[in-house]
Structure formats: C-alpha cells, structure tokens
Structure 1
C-alpha cells in the first residue's frame, strides 16, 4: 500500500481535532502559510487539503477573515443498525434523552400491522427527545409491544433501549426496515426540536426485528436537517 498523500495527512489531522473537540464550531484554523510551515509542504498542497475539507462540509471560508470550523452534521449510515447512544459516543458527544410521554395504549391498525399484533393489543407509546451535546437533534415516537417487554419502564427509555435488550436481556437485535423522506416540521415537531415551523426535517420510519424474527419496535423519527445527514454505501 502506498504512502498517504500529504494533503490527506493534513485533512485527517484537522478532522481528528474536530472529532476530539480540539477544534469547535466557529474556530478559525491556521492560515495556509502557517500550515505550510507546520507540515513543511507547498502552499498548493495545503490549499488542496483545505478545499477538500470545505467541500466535505468540515470547514467554511469567510472572505477576508479566514477559514473556520463548520457545524459538523451527525452522519448516520443507512446500511448499519446503530443506536443513537452509540452514534453520539462515537462522535464524542454528550448524549441524553428527555421522555415526554410514556403510556400504554391499544395498537391501531397501522401499529398492529408493523408489530405483528392484533388490532387493540397493548403497546407502550413513548415520545422522547434525543440530545447531542445538549442540542435537540431527534424527536421520536416509539411503539413497543407489551407482550415482549412486560417490565418496560421510563428509566430504560431514558438511556439506550438497544443496550438494554442486548446487554440486560441478552437478546440479539437482527435487522430493521427503514424509510426516509424530507418533510416540513409541523408546529409540535418544531417546538420539540427548537427550530422554526416548516423548517426541513428528515422523517424516518423504522421497523426493527429481534433475531427470532419478531419486530420489537416501530419508530417514527424526526431528525433536524441542519444537524444530520444520512449516508448510503451501495455496491453494484
């Protein structure tokens, strides 16, 4: 394998500092001349690295002032099944949840169909806001079958539901089926995510299954479009 090009070394160093919190949103990075001296490379090499970081959304330029760290969006990979808590930890972000609603309701036709239940069977209905570094980035409505989780409580949902299933109950999570579309935030969603009404949000539905083949959650999730971007890796 060949040696990593110097411009990529510069890119990776800056990305790593952003991920570790050594560089934060709004911080001005070193000038091209300073970076040229720091890495003992040409100014053209530095410029290539910075251009790539600007194009990828890590940095932005302010004419006449310099180059600054952008507001980095949370990257959610569509091909994996990773919980919110794990996503935030990977990005070194502080994670917390606020439960708005926790109650037992009768499943309507839609929810019953998604969870392989009879219409009218009891499910837990949970509404919660998920925070990354104290910024509300996700508003969720979850439907969970009571027949599978008889001892469900609010404390479990304040942390990681997936970790509870796999580490406490020792049940393996298998796969999920997801849909994703763009929407305008209605008044309630806007209030929960602390954004303007009709702001763009990414609306996802997710049906998640245990390895036994049973669906254990049906989720309607609203992601802040200014904080999230979804990545799909496809192979032909």
Structure 2
C-alpha cells in the first residue's frame, strides 16, 4: 500500500484538529517552528502542508500576520428549492434579513419579460440583504406579480417569502428555473457585501413556478462566493 507523502499526512492531522474543534474558525495556526516540533518534520514539509490546506480552503493566509482557520463554507444545493431561512436552519448559526427596499412598481423590461407580464402590470419589488451571524452573504432582488400577491407586505419580506406563499396563501411551489453566471460586482453590491470590485461573485437569476404552471416570482441573487460552495449531482 502506497503511503501518502509526509506533507499530506501533516495536512490530514491539522485537518483533524479543525474537525475536532481543537482549532476553531478564526484561530491562528501555530508558528512553523511550533508545527515542526509538534509533528517532527522539516519546515519545507510544514509549508507544503499549509499550502495544500490553503488551496483546499481549510486555511487562509494574511500577509504579515499569519495563517488562520477558515470558517467552513456554506453548502448550497442548487437542486433543493429552499429559502435562505430554511437553508440556514440546518446550521447552528444565526440567520437574519434586512429589507433594503420595498415598493409597488411597474416592472423593468427584463422583469416583465421574465414573468410574462406587460410593462403596465405592476409588481411588488423587494431588495433584501441576507446575513449569517451578522455577516452579509447575499443580496437578493425579487419581483412578484401584484395581482397574485396584493397583500404582500414589508413585514412578510422580513421573514420567509416561501412560508407566506405556501402557508398563508395556500399555494404550492413547484420549481425554480435558474441561470448562474460569475460576474464582477457593482459598486452597490460591493458596499453591501463588503467585497472588492475585482472579486468575482456569483449571480443567480431564477424564475419560480407554482404547481399550476404559473410564474410567481423573478429573482436575482448575488452570492458572496468566498462564503459559499455550490453542489450538484450529475448522473449518467
């Protein structure tokens, strides 16, 4: 049986410390000298192990400061149609929402086309910032037909949009059709997510459908990708 290279063995041991809670998110990794003493290997081996863990997003380095344990990225399954609150309920972290804008308006051409409306049919527009443990993760813009949701309110959008649709309106959500693209953030998105204009983010545009086949929403989400990882299952 071929044994893993020494640096991979060291990387595995550091990873085990992270998984067991011996090293927690935000903790600084011990110095290279201390790691050498701990594992009984050369400095070159330690540096290779750290480089591997940085590449695998287990650690991150800050120039002139040190190497730190990265907060685990949130797993987003694109095949599961769940709201932000539902998705975060499986974690032990605190999800919250800030409604940045809420209005009844005439739809922009892109929105009218996506929802199959005329540009004279009004929509409810909401812009929300989704946060986890107080840190911004997603900027979401949503447009819903006013005729379908005349009682949709600011308070509803502070909570769960899907819960309102399914439990209060008694409608069954069937599916979402999504388009995913990496983009460079606008100045507004940079300000809200605290990212650089040169940091690519992920834009997901989606149309939501009810079980009747009616479209009930068009949304554009901007994800802070350094906090997320996206998963899918491909079958042959």
Superposition TM-score tier, normalisation by shorter sequence: 0.7 to 0.9
Partner of 1:38: none
Partner of 2:96: 96
Partner of 1:74: 74
Partner of 1:192: 192
Residue 199 of structure 1: how far off its partner (Å):
2.1
CA contact (8 A) 1:15 1:58 kept: no
CA contact (8 A) 2:15 2:58 kept: no
Matched ranges for 1:10-25 at <5 A: 15=19, 23-25=24-26
Residue 71 of structure 1: how far off its partner (Å):
2.3
Q: 4+ residue stretches of structure 1 with deviation over 4 A?
A: 10-18, 31-35, 50-56, 59-62
State the TM-score, normalized to the length of structure 2. 0.75
CA contact (8 A) 1:98 1:158 kept: yes
Partner of 1:149: 149
Residue 172 of structure 1: how far off its partner (Å):
1.6
1:170 aligns with 2:133: no
The 3 A distance-change label for structure 1 pair 174 and 13 is farther
For residues 23-44 of structure 1, give each alpha carbon's deviation from its aligned partner in whole angstroms, at most 9, with x where no partner exists.
3332659x89999xxxxxxxxx
2: CA distance, partners of 1:96 / 1:136: 9
CA contact (8 A) 1:97 1:129 kept: yes
Q: How many residues align?
A: 212
Residue 70 of structure 1: how far off its partner (Å):
1.7
Q: Give the unaligned 5+ runs of structure 2.
A: 1-11, 40-49
The 3 A distance-change label for structure 1 pair 172 and 198 is same
RMSD: 3.3
